Amino acid sequence: MNAYDTLSGAINGMRERGFIVDFNLQENCLVCHGNKFDVKDFEIVEFYRFEGDSNPSDESIVYGIESSNGVKGVLVSGYGISAEGISAEMAKKLRFSDL
């Protein structure tokens, strides 16, 4: 896995490796371009965590995701936050530990 100093650097590197779409997180699925991907329909290929130097709200994680039909993209999310609003199955997939 690559190492990055910044979130934008990680996203740019992932884009170069074909992770071109932006996924959005919903309660029990990921969405991009009007397509919904249930938990069973995608895999996390890689991920990178970034900690805020002085502000915990700056903490984030970027996931490189590939769907079962070959769609590759990124999902950016805060971490260290509650998994409230998403299903337990989605939280487990995204490795949230505070459910």
**Going residue by residue through the chain (99 aa), what tens digit of pLDDT does each one get?**
688 999 999 999 999 999 999 999 988 899 999 999 999 999 999 999 888 766 656 688 999 999 999 999 999 987 655 555 788 888 888 875 433
What's the one-letter identity of residue 26? Answer: Q
pLDDT of residue 54: 60
The CA-to-CA distance between both ends of the chain, in Å, stands at 28
User: What is the distance between the alpha carbons of residues 61 and 76, in angstroms, rounded to a whole number?
Assistant: 6
In contact, 93 and 75? CB cutoff 8 Å: no
User: What is the distance between the alpha carbons of residues 99 and 97, in angstroms, rounded to a whole number?
Assistant: 6
30, β-bridge pairs:
25, 37
User: What is the distance between the alpha carbons of residues 14 and 20, in angstroms, rounded to a whole number?
Assistant: 8
pLDDT of residue 56: 59
Q: How many CB atoms lie within 10 A of CB 75?
A: 21
In contact, 56 and 81? CB cutoff 8 Å: no
pLDDT of residue 71: 96
Q: Supply the Cα-derived Rg of the chain in whole angstroms.
A: 13
